Amino acid sequence: MKLLDYVITKTNEYIENMPKSLRKRYGQFFTSKETALFMAGLFVVPSDKHSLKILDAGAGSGILTVALIEKLQTQNQISHIELVCYENDTNIITLLEDNLNWVSNHSNIDVDYEIRTENYITSQVFEYNNWLGANPTPEKFDLIIGNPPYMKIGKDAPEAKAMPDVCYGAPNLYFLFTAMGVFNLKSRLAHGSYNSRF
Ligand SMILES: C[S@@+](CC[C@H](N)C(=O)[O-])C[C@H]1O[C@@H](n2cnc3c(N)ncnc32)[C@H](O)[C@@H]1O
C-alpha cells in the first residue's frame, strides 16, 4: 500500500469515530489526498541536498508530511529526513504516532521523526521575540509544510500576545502559523535556492 493511502484510510476511520464538535475546537480539518499531493508537488529541492530537516506545524494525522515523504522517495535523491511535527490535540496524537511509525518502517528514506505536543506558537515566544533567555540559535528547517488551524482568536489570546509585531486587533490563528513558519524557515541566502512556494 502507498504511504499516503495508508494514512488517508486511518484518518477516515478517525473522522468516523471523533465528533466534529471536538475536532472543531482545534480548528481540525484534514487535507484531501488531491490537495496534499498538489502541495507536496510544489517543493523543489536543490540537487546537492541528500538530507532534509522538515517541519509540519499542526500535523493532525500526518497527511501533508506523508504526501511530502512519498514525493521525495520517488525522486531517489534524499536518503535521510529529520521530521518535526507539532500537534497539540491529545485526541489525535496516538494516530499521528502510529502513522509516522508505519511510514518510517515502510519508506525507503530513513525518517527520524519527533512529535511535539506543545502549542506551536506559544512554545516559541522567547525565540520569536528574541527575549532574554531565548535559545540564541532558534531551530530552522529546510522545508515547511502545513495546513494551519483556521480560527479567529481574541487580541488577548496567548498566541496573539506571543506575536505582537504581526497582530493588529483580533487575528486568525492561520496567519500566525504562517508568520511563525517564515521565522522557522532557513534563509535562502544562507542555504541555497530553496523554492517552497507555500
Ligand atoms: C486544519 S488542521 C490540519 C491537519 C493536517 N495538517 C492536515 O492537513 O490534514 C490543523 C491542525 O493543527 C492543530 N493545532 C491547532 N492549534 C495548534 C497549536 N496551537 N499548536 C499545534 N497544533 C495546533 C489542530 O489540532 C489540527 O490537527
pLDDT at 28: 83
pLDDT digit string (tens) for 126-147? Answer: 999 999 999 999 999 999 999 9
Please say if the pLDDT value at position 26 is more than 90.
no
Please say if the pLDDT value at position 84 is more than 60.
yes
**Number of structural domains in the chain:** 1
pLDDT at 20: 84
**For range 79-94, the mean pLDDT:** 96
86 Cα nearest atom in ligand 1: 21
Question: Could you give the CA distance from residue 123 to residue 127 in angstroms, rounded to a whole number?
Answer: 9
Give me the residues paired with residue 144 across strands. Answer: 55
More confident residue, 190 or 171: 171
Please say if the pLDDT value at position 1 is more than 80.
no
Nearest CA to ligand 1 atom 6: 59
SS3 assignment for 29-95:
CCCCHHHHHHHHCCEECCCCCCEEEEEEECCCCCHHHHHHHHHHHHHCCCCEEEEEEECCCHHHHHH
Amino acid at 11: T
- Rounded to the nearest integer, the mean pLDDT of the chain is 92
Question: Could you give the CA distance from residue 131 to residue 125 in angstroms, rounded to a whole number?
Answer: 8
How far apart are the CA of 87 and the centre of ligand 1, in A?
A: 6
Question: Ligand 1 within 6 A of 64 CB?
Answer: yes
Exposure of 36 by Cβ count < 10 A (0-12 exposed, 13-18 middle, 19+ buried)?
buried
* Full domain range(s) for residue 152: 3-196
How far apart are the CA of 101 and the centre of ligand 1, in A?
A: 19
**For range 166-174, the mean pLDDT:** 93
Question: Could you give the CA distance from residue 159 to residue 142 in angstroms, rounded to a whole number?
Answer: 24
Phi, psi (rounded to 5 degrees) for 5:
-60, -40
**For range 26-46, the mean pLDDT:** 93
Which of 23, 26, 68, 100 for mutating ligand 1's site (highest number of atoms within 8 Å of CB)? 26
Q: Any idea what the CATH number is for the domain that residue 54 is in?
A: 3.40.50.150
Q: In what order do the strands lie in the sheet with 51-57?
A: 110-116, 80-86, 51-57, 143-145
Which residues make Cβ contacts (< 8 Å) with residue 125, sequence separation at least 6?
131, 162
Residue 128: all three cell numbers together: 520569536
pLDDT range class, residue 188, cuts 50, 70, 90: low
